[in-house]
Amino acid sequence: MSWQPGEALLFQQPDTATGLSYHCYFEPSDNQTINGYTWTMTPETPEQFTITATNSGVTLTADSLYGLFVPEFIDYRDGHKVLRVSDWPDLPPGKDLVEFRPSGISQREYTLSVTVTYTETDTDSGLEVEKTDSQSWRCVVIHDYSTGRDQLLEYMNASSH
């Protein structure tokens, strides 16, 4: 009986990564039968992750990690006033950008904990006993600051046309 993957680090990816899929499962011995899996994530599971449990294990997927690192703020000029928004989608088009401050957080780390419930049959007596086992993996997302740079360039180019 062992857990897969065997390493404590499930993944380390930049926030520009797409199409992630990781499968965590318990490999039972011949006298063990899987009954089911449960999972928890700390801190709270980000909306970018989809985590599902089936009798074959727990799968974490993410189409994209975009949005895990939002800017600290974006200031823009509206007439004679300087206004502040917290993210690019909130910025009205065609405004003069005064200041953009990217997220000061360089990485986010999550812990995925998986528990398996299984039945173990004693090979001599034939008695069945329900047992559990747990394993945790680290999920690390590193902020790739080029995302903010690219959004800044995109906004500036769109505003200049």
Say if 92 falls within a structural domain: no
What is the C-alpha to C-alpha distance for residues 157 and 115, in angstroms, rounded to an integer? 50
Are residues 76 and 85 in contact, defined by beta-carbon separation less than 8 angstroms? yes
Are residues 147 and 105 in contact, defined by beta-carbon separation less than 8 angstroms? no
Q: Which domain holds residue 41?
A: 2-66+108-143
CATH number at residue 38: 2.60.40.10
| pTM score, whole prediction | 0.84
Domain count, the chain: 1
Say if 16 falls within a structural domain: yes
Say if 50 falls within a structural domain: yes
Would you state the structure tokens that stand for residue 32, as one six-digit string? 């063990």
| Alpha helices by DSSP H, 15-145 | none
- pLDDT tens-digit series, residues 16-34: 999 999 999 999 999 999 9
- Measured in whole angstroms, the distance separating CA 5 from the mean position of its chain's CA atoms is 17
What is the C-alpha to C-alpha distance for residues 54 and 38, in angstroms, rounded to an integer? 9
- pLDDT tens-digit series, residues 111-143: 999 999 999 999 889 899 999 999 999 999 999
